[in-house]
Amino acid sequence: MRKFWAWAAVIFGMLYFILPLLGMTEFSLKMRRGVYSFDAYAKVLADPRFQETFAYSVGMAIATIIFGVVLIVPTAYWVRLRLPGLRPYIEFITLLPLVIPAIVIVFGYIRLYNTSSFLPLTGSATGTNILLMFGYATLALPYMYRAVDTGLRTIDVGTLTEAAQSLGAGWITILARIILPNVLVAVMSGAFLTFAIVIGEFTLAALLNRPAFGPYMQLLGANRAYEPAALAVIAFAITWGCMALIQVVSRFAPRAPAQLH
């Protein structure tokens, strides 16, 4: 009897999840009257605006990942090595983006970094791009920090550092050649999640007026019928791909804390 209800709950739930996925897939294939075709996909992929905005968002995602890694890996490492007492406070800061809605944060950016401020980032396209990247790094902060910190937990940071120092390594060498390779799996999990978040992000890009993929999708959705469904399928495939890559790299993660004797 218990098994019956268990199956009922899972099947009922999965039905709810599968129907919209089925709906968008079916709809995306219906552009040509009467038969299924890939016309909507062909149209979307051939649209120069699609190519531009998609390339822009991929570029932003990569920039955000690089910036996030350079900012967070040394910080998480340093906190574990030298300032363990600070850890709860740093963790609290990294969780703030889950509390403060993104729309409020970007509202603050617009007010704080306008053309008449001390740091007029929104004055130029390059400046706004940088601001948007910082914004994405902020959105990804909770996931990135947690991933890196979990990765650092599995290695003996203190011993590795002392070993490297006694062989004459400087801080940059320790970070780049000892710490980063050891937490690479964790960093990559965080990176793929960041990619999934940034690629379709709408609010920040729209309010900072940047030609990103999210606002493009929204614009297309307001004006077309079948192409948005094709875009939704593509976006779902990207999200699925990122999660699959996280699963793949996690296979290579050390299972137990590495012991150094």
Task: Count CB-CB contacts under 10 A for residue 84.
Answer: 9
> Contact between 45 and another protein (CB under 8 A)?
no
Q: Which residues of 174-210 are buried (b: 16+ CB within 10 A; e: fewer)?
A: bbeebbbebbbbbbbbbbbbbbbbbbbbebbbbbbeb
Is residue 65 within 8 A of residue 191, CB to CB? The reply is: yes
- Is 201 a residue that touches another protein (CB under 8 A)? yes
Q: Name the residue nearer to another protein (CB basis): 89 or 258.
A: 89
Using rule CB under 8 A, residue 33 touches another protein: no
Distance in angstroms (rounded) separating the CA atoms of residues 248 and 261: 30
Q: How many CA atoms lie within 13 A of 212 on its CB side?
A: 27
Nearer to another protein, 155 or 233 (CB): 233
Instruction: Confirm or reject binding of residue 21 to another protein (CB under 8 A).
Output: yes
Q: Is 142 in the site for another protein (CB under 8 A)?
A: no
Applying the rule CB under 8 A, the residues between 155 and 194 that interact with another protein are: 193
Nearer to another protein, 225 or 258 (CB): 225
Residue 166: CB minimum distance to another protein, A: 19
Residues in contact with another protein, shown as a per-residue x/- string from 202 to 241 under the rule CB under 8 A: xx--xx------x--xx--xx-----xx-xx--xx--xx-
Residue with smaller CB distance to another protein, 105 or 163 = 105
Query: 48-81 and 213-223 helices cross at what angle (nearest 10)?
Result: 140
* Cβ-proximal residues to 223 (8 Å cutoff; 6+ apart), any chain: none
By C-beta, is 170 or 258 nearer to another protein?
170
- DSSP annotation of 167 reads T
Of residues 148, 164, 197, 198, which one binds another protein by CB under 8 A?
197
C-beta separation of 106 from 131 below 8 A: no
The binding track of 72-111 with respect to another protein, each residue x by CB under 8 A or -, is x-xx--xx--xx--x---x--x--xxxxxxxxxxxxxxxx
